[in-house]
Amino acid sequence: MLRALCVLAATALSAGVGATPLPDVDPILAGTKWVGTLSQRGSFRGGAPAPPAFQAVLTVTRRHGDRFEAELDEVAGPIRVTYVVKGVVTPAPVGQGHAVRFRSVGTTLAQSTVPVLDVPYDGVLRGRSLRGTWKAPGNGGTNVEGDFALEMGR
């Protein structure tokens, strides 16, 4: 009888009956790459044209607790810029992933463009998908913002 109860309990657990759901996994780890697009709308000071979208790769370079550093590489035609970003990852309410916030603090590359620093990015991480918005600080006539959609690379 005891053996039958143990087998029944093991079967129920393996089927998920009565099992506690696992928390959302936080995959913003050093070495991970997030690939996708970054949209852009608005206008730059002086009316300079801007591409409507960039191919983007976010590469996490460091992680310590809830803080991380990364490089955000953006490419559109002849324009290529690599930002150094710093941010935080915090759990959202159960089942809603993680809040991911970061800000551009420097650059390692800027071709055919003038980089814009101190841009905040606010996103939500669910599974292997990181989606959110960004908005450049409005300095001297620049009013640019957009969305980003990144997927964890393999």
Model confidence over 29-55: pLDDT tens digits?
999 999 999 999 887 777 766 788 999
Domain that holds residue 128: 23-152
E-only strand ranges, the chain: 33-39, 41-43, 53-64, 67-76, 79-91, 98-111, 120-126, 129-135, 143-152
Residue 5 lies in a domain: no
Model confidence over 118-130: pLDDT tens digits?
999 999 999 899 9
| pLDDT interval class at 24 (50, 70, 90) | low
Mean pLDDT of 141-146: 83
Kindly report the CATH number assigned to the domain that includes residue 141: 2.40.128.120
**pTM for the full predicted model:** 0.80
Residue 4 lies in a domain: no
The type of residue at 103 is: R
